[in-house]
Amino acid sequence: VTDAMSPVGGTQGGYKLGPYDVTVRDGKCVTADGTLAGSALDLATAVRNLIRRLGIPKDEALRMATLYPAEFLGVSDRRGRIAVGYPAHLAIFDNDVNVSAVVYDGEYQLVGAI
């Protein structure tokens, strides 16, 4: 679960948000007058921040991004974990918690090929 806006993962630059011109600067989406218009923080970066900045163990940080939101939303009986009967929608991370591949509906794809 993330509140990232549409330019997440892209380069710094501009886009439209309804009638507003929004620019991505320093990981934030701001209007021309500097008003915060959203976040450009992706979930993998948020997990890395938990691990590196707060010292949270990797397995707990990953549960915070997957299982706990599913429990909060009341969907943990079908989302948020790797188990028989759950959909195969997975992000595969390297040791530095960068997404290297995804599995969607059981189909494996390298990130560069997506």
> Hey, which residues are catalytic here?
3
Region of 52 please: left (phi>0), alpha (psi -120 to 50) or beta: alpha
DSSP 23: E
DSSP 4: B
Residue 66: how many CB atoms within 10 A of its CB? Answer: 20
Residue 14 forms beta bridges with which residues? 23
